[in-house]
Structure 1
């Protein structure tokens, strides 16, 4: 009956948990951390009198504080610590054994149960020393370890809460009459206009419609220098406004904002369990069998050699207590905690830990070109002027005309004009000639910015060798005419990212091949590939063919990572062994990737692979430190060098164990990427 009742109670709980979702999960975790912390401190307090009462400790410090019934008090205190401090491990072991999968908890439980039972018998008549002080210190160390481990996991969830706090709770809403009133953030809707005063946080993702200021986005993008923003620029919710006042038109609120998406990603990353962490559980499983096997063998061998039952028992207990290396429980979690912190600081959001840990095996990286290796926007690369003209004059006319157009080429020319701080002239009679270009009147002169097609149709002559050279590099060329005469020609191309070249060189040094995959035409692709030193280029690839190309590269026996930012990259990102999305990319790309780079910096791809290699290396080192301690300690505890008078006392065993735990913790902290 009671079993049935428990079962239904558990079922009810689970439903409630599902209903309350993440929030409940967070609280539950908080509660567990607090619980371990409380158990640890109370156990430490009880340990002090246990140490004072223990005959073995008194012997060590050469005192005699024995009195009648002192062993019963010692037994009482140890019973409290066993059931109170040891309870999480005993219940954990029960769950592991029920699942026929002994691991960390079973190993710890074995050690404390053996120590407790043996020592209790020693108090009530069995000949031999009691291990109560060993039991107490073991429980203390284990509780401490689990508390640290859970805190490191919590540290990552704390990062989430810190992210949530980045959002302000109120916004200054501007109504249709221009009046300002303060409303809570939930009331702000898409399309609303809000005022952001100097020093305040931006309440949501949006576009500046009035004002200019420098905005600190470091918490969100890792960009350390405040970014100058003005009318027409986008701002991210949660970033901090500098000196100026801004009016913002809100485009995304609530769960759609960049910040909320980051929070969701971090949450997913935490919930995807690490593969290497399972590695430490597997190690614990083997150590459990080893402890049991060695203990029993030790017992039988000493009895067979004619030693007393109590001596054989003491050796067996020492072996079983010692073979529980606490360092093992910390080996993986500490490295994961450090690696998660580094990745967040470097602007790498890990969504899928298993694939991230596999990144160390990558031997080919496929880059999408536009927006990843290049900035995804046109920039002026060359200007060629006719006699009597200079670059500034030609660009001033072109910029003045192009300010009226929304075309990417127009924007590229205007950006160049702004960069050179050219003064824009006022224009009249602006008109767009479909497929040919633009026309306007500046200071009584007819100015045109036209395409090569128009020049051909009108038979106007221009420098054909320059034109040919630029076209072969995949650049777009426009011509500036004044009263139908050529003043100059301007070449534009998608700007290559400065950081891309260094990243590709570094990948080469690591023995990783760089491949470019783009829908753009072959000339443009080859020009970019040449500038960057890319090994292999696939151009004019249609969106649905991108994932096929990934499969093709995988079939040649390579482990492939794909880096992209667009909707068309999503299937390829999902197909690759490691999908890396650029943070400025589309939501779809981000949703399908294993890792998101907050800054659109190809250098971060290198950092990512280095971090994956470093994380794995540290975990393996730590597992060796933890298990290696056992390889030495178990034979010593079993008394293999007994004849040479070398027997590992439980006290030395405990010190060794603490030492291996400290080494593992320090080793994890040393993880870094240059």
Structure 2
């Protein structure tokens, strides 16, 4: 049986073609309610069936016989067979129509054989004892098992349903006359909406008025509130905290971040897994075994001199216990859980097979700018060269640079702000063309200049640490008061704090860490040394990146981590392409996996989740097939001489228990 049909069977079994399943689970809910209803009705009818069955009466030592009681038993059993067994009877028709017999075929054959034999006994067509009570309890247990399985399937996709429910239904659209409440679907790009404290952002947009912080945990996995001010983007579904803001709508409908996330998650949950191919083949083999062993068991017991009823019971038990329900769920449930779990933590899987390959990665190649680094200039070193300390040196430099918009100047000012320093006022700013800037700070004339200015003035710097920073490719800025050298600053693209932990985690897993950059060799060597990278490739043109990845791929199973734009060819070339820092632009076509958060540590999370996901798949496949090695011989009656006999109902319990175990094991992936 093709296991991919399993959910479709569950949705459709037991009901006429009167409804279509809703994309996000309405049909699943209808089918779930249908199984529950059939289970309840069948269980209620099973009570009088048990009381009227001679076998049960003999076992408990009571007698309940009245005129027509045997025909009442037949009528009740017929209702249970048709109403309770309808999902399986409808299922066998669908499976045989597509020439793919599966679990529904096995159950339908088992209950039909049991019913027809027992009815023939009641009508006097054959001798022996009927087993209507076993038929009824078997159907009850099968319905219960299906119901539990369907709840597990729905539970595995519940995170996706939660994503769907995140988006609010209405928004406060700002108009010339104030604000009006409108349905979200009526918003258009360019509209402005007010988002009050505690409300959810209705669509993707940009803040144009006010400041606040927002909780984006359900969307990006970022646990801390994210500050928002004019110019910052907001994501539909995020929860506004303390401030009231006005945002201009940029994206609506299918273009929004959340809509793209939902589409990616659905696509990944539906995409095929390599392990699924194995499960499909194993399921088909199990069906063949069940039907053939069932037939052999039936024939063997008849030839051994047993009654027709006993042979039918053994054969039915074999077919019931061999039903590959657990096998059909083994991989799809793990896929659903892992994909939803990944989305909740900011990992969007676009290609299931690539995600599964991630468990065997031997090397990860990172792009530098914007991936391992922040992509902005910042102060990496402060070198006091006079009697003042680092903080005072930084205060004076920030005061001089505060009027400039140059990236170096912005980096110096930002460094002072991050240290919480109070920057003094400055005036009479004056540029030194091509060399720096000077200003008066508290009556002192301070200059922030380049090494070229010092050369022109004949000022020598004899400090090995400053010289080493220059050799590393860092930008060095000097601070002077008059001609007195106060100190120096080294600036470079700031290495992310998370990058060190990401590299350490990956190397701890035995994965080699490399870097690919178009930057000069000195800067690349500094970053590689700071992070403890195994290798680096510098001064690589964008057109050459794919070639370098191909070279690495000849030595190792490799992942490429980049921004998904300039690195697109390299992402495609790698065994696993990971786009990092995509923000709200989810649709990065060249990547197999998209990291919503701009955090390189999530690469290690991909490897870990891939390994754990594969382990769960293997565990489920082993359990779903392995228990049959013991169960099938017991069902066939090989230990009947030792007094061990398994009834069809007991076989159904064991079979259902195996599917529940598989479902629970898949859910344990969340732990």
Decide: shared fold, TM above 0.5.
yes
Equivalent position of 1:613 in the other structure: 611
Confirm or deny that 1:126 pairs with 2:116.
Answer: no
Describe how 1:339-418 pairs up with structure 2 within 5 A: 339-418=338-417
In structure 2, do the counterparts of structure 1 residues 155 and 638 end up closer, same or farther at CA, with 3 Å as the change threshold? Answer: closer
Describe how 1:522-533 pairs up with structure 2 within 5 A: 522-533=521-532
Measure, in 1, the Cα distance between the counterparts of 2:148 and 2:571. Answer: 36
Q: Is the 8 A contact 1:372 1:564 kept in 2?
A: yes
Q: What secondary structure is seen at the aligned counterpart in 2 of 1:96?
A: helix
Measure, in 2, the Cα distance between the counterparts of 1:134 and 1:555. Answer: 61
Higher mean Cα deviation, 300-309 or 538-547?
300-309
Equivalent position of 1:573 in the other structure: 571
Q: Is the 8 A contact 1:409 1:492 kept in 2?
A: yes
Q: What secondary structure is seen at the aligned counterpart in 1 of 2:490?
A: strand
In structure 2, do the counterparts of structure 1 residues 424 and 357 end up closer, same or farther at CA, with 3 Å as the change threshold? Answer: same
Measure, in 1, the Cα distance between the counterparts of 2:306 and 2:173. Answer: 86
Aligned-residue offset at 1:631: 1.5
In structure 2, do the counterparts of structure 1 residues 388 and 615 end up closer, same or farther at CA, with 3 Å as the change threshold? Answer: closer
Aligned-residue offset at 1:291: 1.1
1:333-381 Cα distance to aligned partner (Å, 9 max, x none): 4434443453344333333333323332222222222333233333211
Equivalent position of 1:80 in the other structure: 79
1:469-528 Cα distance to aligned partner (Å, 9 max, x none): 113333222233455764432112233333333333333333322222223322222222
In structure 2, do the counterparts of structure 1 residues 293 and 49 end up closer, same or farther at CA, with 3 Å as the change threshold? Answer: same
Higher mean Cα deviation, 528-537 or 137-146?
137-146
Instruction: Name the count of aligned residue pairs.
Output: 651
Aligned-residue offset at 1:567: 0.7
Equivalent position of 1:505 in the other structure: 504
Describe how 1:127-526 pairs up with structure 2 within 5 A: 127-155=127-155, 157-174=157-174, 179-186=178-185, 188-190=187-189, 192-324=191-323, 326-426=325-425, 436-438=435-437, 447-457=446-456, 459-463=458-462, 465-482=464-481, 486-526=485-525
Measure, in 2, the Cα distance between the counterparts of 1:179 and 1:458. Answer: 63
Equivalent position of 2:630 in the other structure: 632
Q: What secondary structure is seen at the aligned counterpart in 1 of 2:311?
A: helix
Equivalent position of 1:7 in the other structure: none
1:530-552 Cα distance to aligned partner (Å, 9 max, x none): 22222222222222333333333
1:613-672 Cα distance to aligned partner (Å, 9 max, x none): 222222322233333332212212222233344333334333433443443344334335
Q: What secondary structure is seen at the aligned counterpart in 1 of 2:461?
A: coil
Equivalent position of 2:14 in the other structure: none
Q: Is the 8 A contact 2:142 2:656 kept in 1?
A: no
Equivalent position of 2:646 in the other structure: 648
Q: What secondary structure is seen at the aligned counterpart in 1 of 2:379?
A: strand
Q: Is the 8 A contact 2:114 2:313 kept in 1?
A: no
Equivalent position of 1:600 in the other structure: 598
1:426-447 Cα distance to aligned partner (Å, 9 max, x none): 5556576775445556567665
Aligned-residue offset at 1:186: 4.3
Measure, in 2, the Cα distance between the counterparts of 1:61 and 1:256. Answer: 67
Structure 2 segments unaligned to the other structure (5+ residues): 1-19
Aligned-residue offset at 1:382: 0.9
Which structure would you say has the larger RCO, counting Cα contacts within 8 Å and 6 or more residues apart?
2
Aligned-residue offset at 1:416: 1.1
In structure 2, do the counterparts of structure 1 residues 32 and 645 end up closer, same or farther at CA, with 3 Å as the change threshold? Answer: closer
Measure, in 2, the Cα distance between the counterparts of 1:552 and 1:639. Answer: 60
Higher mean Cα deviation, 305-314 or 214-223?
305-314
In structure 2, do the counterparts of structure 1 residues 209 and 74 end up closer, same or farther at CA, with 3 Å as the change threshold? Answer: same
Q: Is the 8 A contact 1:142 1:326 kept in 2?
A: no
Q: What secondary structure is seen at the aligned counterpart in 2 of 1:505?
A: helix
In structure 2, do the counterparts of structure 1 residues 131 and 437 end up closer, same or farther at CA, with 3 Å as the change threshold? Answer: farther
* TM-score between both structures, scaled by the size of structure 1: 0.85
Equivalent position of 1:664 in the other structure: 662
Measure, in 1, the Cα distance between the counterparts of 2:183 and 2:432. Answer: 49
Equivalent position of 1:544 in the other structure: 543
Measure, in 2, the Cα distance between the counterparts of 1:334 and 1:589. Answer: 25
* TM-score between both structures, scaled by the size of structure 2: 0.85
Measure, in 1, the Cα distance between the counterparts of 2:140 and 2:429. Answer: 81
Q: What secondary structure is seen at the aligned counterpart in 2 of 1:528?
A: helix
Measure, in 2, the Cα distance between the counterparts of 1:508 and 1:110. Answer: 55
Equivalent position of 1:10 in the other structure: none
1:453-481 Cα distance to aligned partner (Å, 9 max, x none): 44445554434533321133332222334
Aligned-residue offset at 1:325: 5.3
In structure 2, do the counterparts of structure 1 residues 263 and 278 end up closer, same or farther at CA, with 3 Å as the change threshold? Answer: same
Q: What secondary structure is seen at the aligned counterpart in 2 of 1:670?
A: helix
Q: What secondary structure is seen at the aligned counterpart in 2 of 1:587?
A: coil
In structure 2, do the counterparts of structure 1 residues 626 and 68 end up closer, same or farther at CA, with 3 Å as the change threshold? Answer: farther
Q: Is the 8 A contact 2:156 2:667 kept in 1?
A: no
Q: Is the 8 A contact 2:211 2:230 kept in 1?
A: yes
Q: Is the 8 A contact 1:569 1:589 kept in 2?
A: no
Measure, in 2, the Cα distance between the counterparts of 1:65 and 1:168. Answer: 61
Describe how 1:17-96 pairs up with structure 2 within 5 A: 26-96=25-95
Q: Is the 8 A contact 1:157 1:267 kept in 2?
A: no
Measure, in 2, the Cα distance between the counterparts of 1:415 and 1:351. Answer: 37
Aligned-residue offset at 1:220: 2.0
Q: Is the 8 A contact 1:149 1:334 kept in 2?
A: no
Coordinate RMSD, CA, aligned = 3.5
Q: Is the 8 A contact 1:128 1:314 kept in 2?
A: no
1:202-247 Cα distance to aligned partner (Å, 9 max, x none): 3444444444333222222223232344455443332222223334
Runs of 4+ that moved beyond 6 A = 431-434
Q: What secondary structure is seen at the aligned counterpart in 1 of 2:669?
A: coil
Q: Is the 8 A contact 1:149 1:333 kept in 2?
A: no
In structure 2, do the counterparts of structure 1 residues 486 and 36 end up closer, same or farther at CA, with 3 Å as the change threshold? Answer: farther
In structure 2, do the counterparts of structure 1 residues 512 and 385 end up closer, same or farther at CA, with 3 Å as the change threshold? Answer: closer
